[in-house]
Amino acid sequence: MSQQTIFQRIGGFPTFERLVNDFYSRVEADPELRPVFPAELEEGKRAQMLFLAQYFGGPDVYSQERGHPRLRMRHAPFEIGQHERDLWLGHMLAAIDAVSITEPARTEMREYFNRAATFMINKLDPGHPSLKVVRSQ
């Protein structure tokens, strides 16, 4: 018996669509994070929904339409520091809870988003600990 994917366990495309819509409604209401996103959000919403569905075991519609995800390259035009990462992650984790994704998928998705959000950082924030020089004795 094969194990179901997260895509299958949480309800497929309808759940991912609800997740992305909830996430984007939070982004639109966030005065700090909204400027990081393009003016027009609909294309991004669809792309994110298809990517997430594919990543979590659904059909490869994203790759068929857009090719390899190349997430860092696609996000390179947007300045993403630790603060933006934290805001983005907070909204995505809240969206997971809002659409009632249950365990163990909830934990698996939260872990993925934590890693992915960190991977997207492409600027260092002033005063961030990684900017401090540490000298060994």
Q: Residue 134 falls within a domain, yes or no?
A: no
Q: What is the pLDDT of residues 74-88, one digit of tens each?
A: 766 778 889 999 999
Q: Give the domain range for residue 120.
A: 10-124
CATH of the domain at 46: 1.10.490.10
- pTM score, two decimals? 0.85
Is 121 in a helix, a strand, or coil?
A: coil
Q: Residue 1 falls within a domain, yes or no?
A: no
Q: What is the CA radius of gyration of the chain?
A: 16
The answer, yes or no, to whether residue 129 has pLDDT greater than 60, is: no
Around Cβ 57, how many Cβ atoms within 10 Å?
15
